[in-house]
């Protein structure tokens, strides 16, 4: 069975732009290209794309995936078995987190106050999830002392402070969706995004770490690191680059 680039994109739930990028970096080439330039993919490419998407879910960079799947020691069955074990572990973690969230929803619906124990458990889950997803990159960039201090600050948040952070995340996402299509980071909406992000950053970073240069450097990392960039690209395409430009303008008004 063969697939056009559009059919494969729809099947995998990704964009045709992503498939073209994978082709350009020799990560996933089509089975052949027709005379009219249309890319055609076979079942082999579908299986390889599945493998790539598994690795992307684990936060592995495209460069690393390229090296893995092109290694002479690459074993697809063994890789799938490893994925399966990872998913089993993730299922346990998600189940625990779902229980916490379920209790939180119940509290809100019944207009109750979350117990200190429940709230502390929820924050610990958040810290653990963040460490598993981004810990290696941010510790390499900022050092263990800084990240430990940041985690401690997050762990000491009051419920009101945490709710404000969650609200800021929503506001930033909404503002990006509205602002990015215009492509004007210097606009009022673009600068509102930067200001909201600054407020969020001050709430989660250690008190002695924040500076204009550090904020700009963090935003630049969003554009360079695949895992961070994916977070913003999932909000809206081009969001990471837009945010970086908006923050640069914010400090150079």
Q: What pLDDT, in 10s, does the model give residues 198-234? A: 999 988 887 777 889 989 988 998 898 887 888 888 8
Q: Which of 49-53, 119-123, 183-187 has the lowest mean pLDDT?
A: 119-123
More confident residue, 62 or 87: 62
- Residue numbers of the domain that contains 21: 3-69
Residue environment code for 68-84, b if the CB has 16+ CB neighbours within 10 A, otherwise e? ebeeeeeeeeeeeeebe
User: Which band of pLDDT confidence, cut at 50, 70 and 90, is reported for residue 94?
Assistant: confident
Domain match, 194 and 232 both = yes
Banded model confidence at residue 250, pLDDT cuts 50, 70, 90? very high
Residue 145 lies in a domain: no
* Nearest-angstrom CA–CA distance, 231 and 243: 12
| Residue ending a domain, choose from 42, 69, 96 | 69
Q: Are 180 and 231 in the same domain?
A: yes
176 occurs within a structural domain: yes
Report, as an integer, the average pLDDT of 108-114. 55
In the chain, pLDDT over 70 holds for what percent of residues? 87
Of 31, 48, 69, which one is at a domain's C-terminal end? 69
Say which CATH number the domain at 252 has. Answer: 1.10.490
Is 33 inside a domain boundary?
A: yes
Q: What pLDDT, on the 0 to 100 scale, is given for residue 39?
A: 92
Stretch 88-102: mean pLDDT, rounded?
74
Q: Are residues 252 and 195 in the same domain?
A: yes
129 within a domain of the structure (yes/no) = yes
Distance, CA of 222 to CA of 239 (rounded, Å): 10
* Judgement on whether residues 83 and 103 belong to the same structural domain of the protein: yes
> How many domains does the structure of the chain reveal?
3
């Amino acid at each position: 069975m063969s697939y056009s680039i559009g059919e494969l994109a729809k099947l995998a739930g990704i964009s045709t732009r992503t498939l073209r990028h994978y082709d350009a970096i020799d990560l996933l080439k089509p089975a052949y290209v027709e005379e009219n330039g249309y890319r055609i993919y076979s079942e082999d490419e579908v299986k390889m794309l599945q493998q790539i998407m598994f690795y992307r879910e684990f936060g592995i960079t495209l460069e690393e995936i390229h090296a893995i799947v092109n290694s002479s020691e690459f074993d697809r069955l063994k890789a799938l078995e490893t994925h399966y074990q990872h998913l089993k572990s993730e299922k346990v973690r998600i189940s625990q987190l779902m229980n916490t969230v379920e209790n939180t929803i119940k509290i809100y619906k019944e207009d109750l106050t979350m117990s200190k124990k429940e709230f502390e458990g929820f924050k610990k889950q958040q810290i653990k999830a963040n460490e598993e997803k981004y810990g290696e990159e941010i510790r390499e960039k900022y050092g263990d002392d800084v990240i430990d201090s940041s985690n401690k600050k997050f762990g000491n948040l009051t419920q009101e402070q945490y709710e404000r952070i969650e609200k800021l995340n929503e506001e930033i996402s909404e503002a990006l969706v509205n602002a990015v299509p215009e492509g004007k980071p210097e606009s009022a909406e673009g600068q509102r995004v930067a200001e909201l992000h600054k407020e969020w950053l001050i709430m989660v970073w250690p008190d002695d770490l924040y500076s204009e240069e550090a904020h700009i450097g963090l935003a630049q990392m969003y554009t360079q690191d695949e895992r961070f960039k994916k977070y913003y690209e999932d909000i809206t395409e081009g969001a990471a680059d837009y945010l970086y430009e908006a923050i640069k303008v914010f400090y150079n008004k």
